[in-house]
Homo-oligomer: A and B are copies of this chain.
Amino acid sequence: MNKHGDTIASAVTNLDLHDIARTAKTYGAKSFYVVTPLSDQKKLVEKIVTHWATGAGAQYNPTRCEALTMIRVKDTLDEVKDDIAGQGFGYPMTVVTSAKQSSRGIRFKKFRNMLKGEGAYLLIFGTAWGLAEEVSDTADYLLEPIVGGTDYNHLSVRSAVAIILDRLIGMGNVR
Protein backbone atom coordinates (compact mmCIF):
# COMPACT_ATOMS: atom_id res chain seq x y z
CA MET A 1 0.00 0.00 0.00
CA ASN A 2 0.99 3.61 -0.40
CA LYS A 3 0.64 6.34 2.23
CA HIS A 4 -3.08 6.70 1.40
CA GLY A 5 -3.89 2.97 1.63
CA ASP A 6 -4.14 2.39 -2.13
CA THR A 7 -2.77 -0.88 -3.49
CA ILE A 8 0.41 -0.16 -5.45
CA ALA A 9 3.48 -1.94 -6.82
CA SER A 10 6.29 -0.39 -4.78
CA ALA A 11 9.75 0.25 -6.25
CA VAL A 12 12.58 -2.13 -5.41
CA THR A 13 15.30 -0.62 -3.18
CA ASN A 14 18.86 -1.74 -3.91
CA LEU A 15 19.81 -2.06 -0.25
CA ASP A 16 16.73 -4.19 0.49
CA LEU A 17 18.22 -6.79 -1.84
CA HIS A 18 21.64 -6.67 -0.19
CA ASP A 19 20.54 -6.52 3.42
CA ILE A 20 17.73 -9.06 3.24
CA ALA A 21 19.83 -11.53 1.23
CA ARG A 22 22.66 -11.28 3.78
CA THR A 23 20.22 -11.76 6.68
CA ALA A 24 18.49 -14.68 4.93
CA LYS A 25 21.87 -16.35 4.34
CA THR A 26 22.94 -15.76 7.96
CA TYR A 27 19.83 -17.50 9.31
CA GLY A 28 19.78 -20.34 6.75
CA ALA A 29 16.64 -19.42 4.76
CA LYS A 30 16.38 -21.45 1.54
CA SER A 31 15.50 -18.55 -0.77
CA PHE A 32 14.69 -14.87 -0.89
CA TYR A 33 11.99 -14.01 -3.43
CA VAL A 34 11.35 -10.50 -4.70
CA VAL A 35 7.77 -10.17 -5.98
CA THR A 36 6.95 -7.39 -8.44
CA PRO A 37 4.77 -7.29 -11.57
CA LEU A 38 6.77 -4.36 -12.99
CA SER A 39 9.08 -5.46 -15.78
CA ASP A 40 11.55 -2.58 -15.33
CA GLN A 41 11.87 -3.43 -11.63
CA LYS A 42 12.46 -7.09 -12.46
CA LYS A 43 15.20 -6.07 -14.89
CA LEU A 44 16.76 -3.88 -12.19
CA VAL A 45 16.86 -6.76 -9.70
CA GLU A 46 18.35 -9.09 -12.29
CA LYS A 47 21.01 -6.53 -13.18
CA ILE A 48 22.03 -6.07 -9.54
CA VAL A 49 22.11 -9.81 -8.87
CA THR A 50 24.13 -10.47 -12.02
CA HIS A 51 26.68 -7.80 -11.08
CA TRP A 52 27.33 -9.36 -7.67
CA ALA A 53 26.92 -12.98 -8.73
CA THR A 54 29.08 -13.09 -11.83
CA GLY A 55 30.46 -9.62 -12.54
CA ALA A 56 33.15 -7.49 -10.97
CA GLY A 57 31.21 -7.61 -7.70
CA ALA A 58 31.72 -11.36 -7.26
CA GLN A 59 35.48 -10.89 -7.35
CA TYR A 60 35.47 -7.79 -5.15
CA ASN A 61 33.21 -9.29 -2.49
CA PRO A 62 32.62 -13.06 -2.63
CA THR A 63 30.46 -13.15 0.52
CA ARG A 64 28.09 -10.61 -1.04
CA CYS A 65 27.92 -12.85 -4.12
CA GLU A 66 26.99 -15.85 -1.96
CA ALA A 67 24.06 -13.95 -0.44
CA LEU A 68 22.73 -12.29 -3.59
CA THR A 69 22.57 -15.53 -5.57
CA MET A 70 19.71 -16.55 -3.21
CA ILE A 71 17.43 -13.97 -4.86
CA ARG A 72 14.69 -15.09 -7.24
CA VAL A 73 12.28 -12.67 -8.92
CA LYS A 74 8.58 -13.52 -9.46
CA ASP A 75 5.46 -11.72 -10.71
CA THR A 76 3.09 -12.95 -8.01
CA LEU A 77 2.98 -14.75 -4.68
CA ASP A 78 1.31 -17.72 -6.40
CA GLU A 79 4.35 -18.10 -8.64
CA VAL A 80 6.54 -18.09 -5.53
CA LYS A 81 4.48 -20.87 -3.97
CA ASP A 82 4.66 -22.91 -7.20
CA ASP A 83 8.42 -22.41 -7.30
CA ILE A 84 8.84 -23.66 -3.73
CA ALA A 85 6.63 -26.67 -4.42
CA GLY A 86 8.61 -27.36 -7.61
CA GLN A 87 11.79 -27.67 -5.54
CA GLY A 88 10.25 -30.55 -3.60
CA PHE A 89 9.40 -28.67 -0.40
CA GLY A 90 5.62 -28.92 -0.93
CA TYR A 91 3.34 -25.89 -1.01
CA PRO A 92 4.41 -23.54 1.80
CA MET A 93 2.24 -22.18 4.59
CA THR A 94 2.15 -18.40 4.21
CA VAL A 95 2.94 -16.12 7.16
CA VAL A 96 2.32 -12.40 6.83
CA THR A 97 4.26 -9.87 8.91
CA SER A 98 2.87 -6.50 9.93
CA ALA A 99 3.64 -3.56 12.21
CA LYS A 100 -0.01 -3.60 13.35
CA GLN A 101 -1.61 -5.67 16.12
CA SER A 102 -4.24 -8.17 14.96
CA SER A 103 -6.49 -10.58 16.84
CA ARG A 104 -5.34 -13.28 14.39
CA GLY A 105 -1.65 -12.67 15.20
CA ILE A 106 0.40 -15.68 16.33
CA ARG A 107 3.19 -15.27 18.87
CA PHE A 108 6.87 -15.50 17.92
CA LYS A 109 7.34 -18.32 20.39
CA LYS A 110 4.56 -20.37 18.79
CA PHE A 111 5.90 -19.80 15.28
CA ARG A 112 9.42 -20.68 16.45
CA ASN A 113 8.07 -24.05 17.59
CA MET A 114 6.10 -24.54 14.36
CA LEU A 115 9.34 -24.13 12.40
CA LYS A 116 10.80 -27.15 14.19
CA GLY A 117 8.16 -29.35 12.54
CA GLU A 118 7.72 -30.51 8.94
CA GLY A 119 6.81 -28.38 5.95
CA ALA A 120 7.92 -25.16 4.33
CA TYR A 121 6.95 -21.64 5.41
CA LEU A 122 6.89 -18.51 3.29
CA LEU A 123 7.41 -15.35 5.36
CA ILE A 124 5.93 -12.32 3.60
CA PHE A 125 7.19 -8.75 4.11
CA GLY A 126 5.87 -5.59 2.47
CA THR A 127 7.65 -2.37 1.56
CA ALA A 128 6.20 1.16 1.26
CA TRP A 129 3.28 1.48 3.77
CA GLY A 130 2.82 -2.28 4.25
CA LEU A 131 1.13 -5.20 2.53
CA ALA A 132 -2.29 -4.89 0.89
CA GLU A 133 -5.17 -6.36 2.90
CA GLU A 134 -5.89 -9.04 0.30
CA VAL A 135 -2.44 -10.52 1.08
CA SER A 136 -3.06 -10.60 4.85
CA ASP A 137 -6.63 -11.88 4.43
CA THR A 138 -5.61 -14.88 2.34
CA ALA A 139 -2.48 -15.82 4.33
CA ASP A 140 -2.44 -18.92 6.54
CA TYR A 141 -0.99 -16.99 9.49
CA LEU A 142 -0.36 -13.45 10.69
CA LEU A 143 2.72 -12.95 12.87
CA GLU A 144 2.48 -10.61 15.87
CA PRO A 145 4.26 -7.24 15.39
CA ILE A 146 7.69 -6.43 16.80
CA VAL A 147 7.41 -4.42 20.01
CA GLY A 148 10.49 -2.51 21.10
CA GLY A 149 9.26 -1.12 24.40
CA THR A 150 8.20 2.29 23.03
CA ASP A 151 5.14 3.39 21.05
CA TYR A 152 7.30 4.07 17.97
CA ASN A 153 6.93 1.27 15.42
CA HIS A 154 8.39 2.42 12.14
CA LEU A 155 11.24 0.02 11.46
CA SER A 156 12.56 -0.36 7.93
CA VAL A 157 11.69 -3.64 6.21
CA ARG A 158 15.41 -4.45 6.28
CA SER A 159 15.49 -4.12 10.08
CA ALA A 160 12.20 -5.99 10.50
CA VAL A 161 13.47 -8.98 8.49
CA ALA A 162 16.65 -9.06 10.59
CA ILE A 163 14.79 -8.95 13.93
CA ILE A 164 12.13 -11.46 12.90
CA LEU A 165 14.58 -14.06 11.54
CA ASP A 166 16.69 -13.64 14.67
CA ARG A 167 13.66 -14.16 16.93
CA LEU A 168 12.55 -17.21 14.93
CA ILE A 169 15.89 -18.87 14.18
CA GLY A 170 18.68 -17.00 16.02
CA MET A 171 20.90 -18.97 18.35
CA GLY A 172 21.26 -16.28 21.01
CA ASN A 173 19.76 -17.60 24.23
CA VAL A 174 18.99 -14.19 25.60
CA ARG A 175 15.85 -14.27 27.65
Pair A148/B169 contact, Cβ less than 8 Å? yes
List the number of copies, as a whole number: 2
Chain A facing B: main interface SS = helix
Chain A, range 144-174, C-beta contacts under 8 Å to B: 146-150, 152-156, 158-163, 165-174
B169–A166 CB distance below 8 A: no
Assess the B156–A170 pair: CB atoms within 8 A.
no
Q: Is A131 an interface residue (CB 8 A)?
A: no
- Contact in complex: B109, A154 (CB < 8 Å): no
**Nearest B residue to A111, CB-CB:** B174
A44 to B46, CA, bound (A): 31
Which residue, of A15, A63, A67, has the highest number of chain B Cβ atoms within 10 A?
A15
A155, B166: Cα distance in complex, Å: 12
**Contacts A22-B159, A159-B159 given; does A170 touch B152 at CB 8 Å:** no
The distance in angstroms between the C-alpha atoms of A154 and B154, with both chains bound, is: 24
Q: List 12 A-B contacts (CB under 8 A).
A: A15-B158, A22-B154, A26-B154, A28-B149, A28-B150, A108-B174, A148-B171, A160-B162, A166-B166, A167-B170, A174-B175, A175-B175
